[in-house]
Chain A
Amino acid sequence: SQTIHQWPATLVQPVGSPLSLECTVEGTSNPNLYWYRQAAGRGLQLLFYSVGIGQISSEVPQNLSASRPQDRQFILSSKKLLLSDSGFYLCAWSVLSGRNEQFFGPGTRLTVL
């Protein structure tokens, strides 16, 4: 069966520090991968998605970037964190073809102080 992992589970970082959040998927090949952010009391905002290694699409201009160095690895990064980057970051995957549901990881709680 497929599983999706996110690391770390929680993170507290100072403003201006770098960020690296990791997402890995097991049990499937060539998945679509997604990064979402969920601000407190709000819905989910799609940040990035990827249909293959090295292929990244950005949904909103921001202080973050994403990379996909391997088929089942998706990384969310920042060179300098802002206070507004605080939130709950969720990674998701779906089957690479057609209209399919997305499966979500457990999330990373990021607090920028």
Chain B
Amino acid sequence: AQSVTQPDIHITVSEGASLELRCNYSYGATPYLFWYVQSPGQGLQLLLKYFSGDTLVQGIKGFEAEFKRSQSSFNLRKPSVHWSDAAEYFCARMDSSYKLIFGSGTRLLVRP
């Protein structure tokens, strides 16, 4: 079955430091991949998506993600984290029925 794995439950970084959140997806043809962010008690906001083409995709809020087929990964990065980036981040892929399969999420904590 198609699945998405986010191996890190929590990540803590210092403000201004770089960030990388890991996401691995299971087998499949070219996957349609997404990163969402959720602030406490809020809905999910789309950060970026990958459908095809350039494997490095730019998103909102200074985030980017790179699709690596050889590693079945779609890691999210940001060069300099701001305190407002503290939130939970979800990676997702779309299955063959156009439904989203979510990872379990990574909670980002930012140290002042």
Contacts and interface: CB of A to CB of B under 8 A. Distances in A.
A109 B44 contact: no
The secondary-structure label for the interface of chain B is strand
B46 interface: yes
The secondary-structure label for the interface of chain A is strand
Contacts of A87: none
B51 to A, nearest CB: 7
Given A32-B98, A49-B99, A43 B46 contact: no
Contacts of B94: 99
Interface residues of B, number: 20
Interface of B: 32, 34, 36, 41-46, 49, 51, 90, 94, 98-100, 102-105
Interface stretch (A11-19, A63-71, A78-86, A100-108): A100-108
Contact count band on A: 20 to 34
7 contacts: A32-B98, A43-B102, A88-B41, A90-B44, A92-B44, A105-B43, A109-B41
Given A32-B98, A101-B34, A101-B49, A43 B103 contact: yes
A104 B44 contact: yes
A43 B90 contact: yes
